[in-house]
Every structure is written in C-alpha cells, then in structure tokens.
Amino acid sequence: MTADVSQRNAGAGGVDDGVGVTALLVAAARAIETHRPDSLARDIYAEHFVHTAPASADWPVRIEEVPDGDANPLWGRFARYFGLRTRIFDDFLLQATRAGTRQVVLLGAGLDSRAYRLDWPAGCVIFEIDREGVLAFKHKVLDGLAATPKAARVPIPIDLRADWIRALTDAGFDTTAPSAWLAEGLLFYLPSAAEAQLIAAVDRLATTGSALAFEVKLDKDLLEYRDSPLYTATKRQIGIDLLDLFAKEARPDSAGALAQRGWSTTISTPFDFTLRLGRGPLPEPNDALAGNRWVFAHKTNLARE
C-alpha cells in the first residue's frame, strides 16, 4: 500500500518533491492563517518550514506579502481553506482526547506540528507516521527552534507502503485502548485499493471508542476542474499540478465501509464549517473545493447488517 506519490515524481523522498512540496504548500497556508487578525488556527512553526526549504524559501507567509492579497486564488482562497481544515481537524482531535483518548495517530503527518502547538491533556501520545526524509526535515527545523512538544511525541519514519502497522505497534501503540486518527490531505493521492486497505487497517487497530477523521473527494472526473482557479494558480505560481498528483481512478466509499464495520460517520463539506465559523471559503463557479468532503467517524461496534 502507498500513501506516497513520489513514485509518480522524480524526487528523493525529502520535502522538495511530490507530497513533500504539497506539505510545504500547507505549511505556507498555515503560516498565512497564523498571521491573520481573524485567524482560525495558529502554527508559529509553519513559516520556519517554508523559509528553510529551498523549494519554498520565497513563498509568502503573510497575506500582506501577496500583491493581490485575498483575491489571489492560491494564497487567498486556497490558503484560507487549509486554515479552516487545520482548525476543524485540530478541534476533532482535541475533542477526542478531552473525552479520554490518549493515543493520536497522524497518518502521513507531513509538516504537521500539532504535537507542539496544541494543548493536549496529560498523558497523550502523538504518533507521527511519514517518510524518513520528511520527518528528518521537520526535526531539523524544530530542533533549531528549540521547540518542545506538549505531549509525548513518537515519530515513526516509514513509508506507508511498508509495514507501518508493525512499526506503529512496535513503537508502543496499544490496540486495546481507544485512539484518535487523522488522515489529512492524504487520501486524494492514494490508489483506490490503497485507500480501502488503509481504512481497513485503521479499523483493525482501533478499538471501540476510537475516532477517525479524513478528507476525500467525491467520485467525479477531476479533469472537470482542470481550469479551476485554485489548480491553475497553484501550477502557475509554485509549479505544482495537483491534478497530476491526485489518483484518477474511481474512489471507494470509505465512509460506507466504516459504517459496515461498526463506526458512526458524519460527512460534511468545508462550506458547512465556513458558515458555522463565519470564516473560510464559500462556493464559487467551477469550484475545485465543491467535491471535497470531511468525514468524522467514531467506532461504536454497532455494525450495519
């Protein structure tokens, strides 16, 4: 199984290729969000990731650095989307841990700094799974800042094509205790079978009382959005063609699969949270965000017949 699209790119597995560069894109968006007066999420480390990596050293980290500001499809609307997503998934994980869960697993953790910036309850352990090159870069930047995690942090440097399940359990993950899982900005890149395998693996490892959040796109021809301003601006301004990175095949019904396995699921659009919080993107014509869905699942063990 793969959660790494470097096989479709020419990089060496660090942060300047494939998914690594998209991780920098999200970091830049989080930096911009951090400096907004009406910020939805704060990540004081994000701009340091952006400035340290050669691929992103000249990217903006404040909306004031963007000539057309919020009118810019990439650094305005798209970045605000990532800020909203960060806030909602932050809230999801904190809610799970405040309800008693003490294990958090970040699948394809990328440059996520939640272990350092969120106020975790005592006793929480944050497992971060990603490629060795990505985690090494993150460690270099955070160590240089003398950053201290606010929970026990267990990095697991492994490609999700390898035996990450064994690596996770060997690192101390307890399959008998509830856990909270996050696959943020990950499943878009996976082949359909790999997504199904990942969801099944989480189900096997998660006991009753566990929670999972992930992001999917509706099963739709992505080429319909080839001319979407979000994608064209991303390609033109920073050279990333996201549509070339996304898996093109029909997507599995992962929310339905979880329901069959005894999970309760809620599916929301990002716009639902924009309306709730009063900040974030709203629908537009030819909208690349229109097919995005955020899934929130809780394992109840009441499997569907």
Q: Which pLDDT band, with edges at 50, 70 and 90, does 303 fall under?
A: low
| C-alpha–C-alpha distance, residues 255 and 263, integer Å | 9
The answer to whether residue 22 is domain-embedded is yes
Domain contains 133:
yes
Distance CA 272, CA 282 (A): 9
Cα angle for residues 228, 230, 233 (degrees, 5° grid): 100
CATH of the domain at 172: 3.40.50.150
Average pLDDT of the residues of the chain: 91
* Least confident window among 98-107, 205-214, 221-230: 221-230
Residue 280: strand, helix, or coil: coil
Does the pLDDT value for residue 27 go beyond 90? yes
- Mean pLDDT value across residues 228-240: 93
How many domains does the chain contain in total? 1
Distance between CA atoms of residues 184 and 107, nearest Å: 8
Write the CA distances from 226 to 78, 222, 230, 286, integer angstroms: 15, 7, 9, 9
Q: Does residue 305 lie within any of the structural domains? A: no
Q: Helix (H, G, I), strand (E, B), or coil: what is residue 71?
A: helix
Element (H, E) at 96: helix 79-98
CA–CA separation, 213 and 267 (whole Å): 10
Residue 226 has pLDDT above 50, yes or no: yes
> What's the pTM value of the predicted model, to 2 decimals?
0.93
Tens digits of residue pLDDT in 235-264: 999 999 988 888 888 889 999 999 999 999
The band of 10, judged by pLDDT with boundaries at 50, 70 and 90, is: very low
Tens-place pLDDT, residues 139-157 = 999 999 999 999 999 999 9
Tokens 């599916």 correspond to what residue?
A: 267
DSSP state of 224: G
Domain of 16 in residue numbering reads as: 5-299
Domain membership of residue 304 (yes or no) is no
Please determine, for residue 2, whether its predicted confidence score (pLDDT) is greater than 50: no
Give the confidence band of 208 by pLDDT, cuts at 50, 70, 90: very high
CA distance 243 to 228: 11
pLDDT of 5 reads 34
Q: Is the residue at 233 inside a domain?
A: yes
pLDDT at 37: 95
Q: 297 pLDDT exceeds 90?
A: yes
Residue-level pLDDT at 16: 61
Pairing, β 292-299 against β 211-217: antiparallel
202-41-23-105 Cα dihedral, nearest 10 degrees: -20
Least confident segment among 28-37, 92-101, 177-186, 222-231: 222-231
Q: How far apart are CA 211 and CA 53, in angstroms?
A: 33
Instruction: Tell me which residue has tokens 């095949």.
Output: 249
pLDDT of residue 73: 96
Q: What is the DSSP string of 153-218?
A: EEEEE--TTS-HHHHHHHTT--TTS-EEEEE-S-GGGS-HHHHHHHHHHHHHHPPTT-EEEEEEE-
* 66, 72 Cβ separation under 8 angstroms: yes
Question: Cβ(149)–Cβ(115) under 8 Å?
Answer: yes
Q: Per-residue pLDDT for 7 more than 50?
A: no
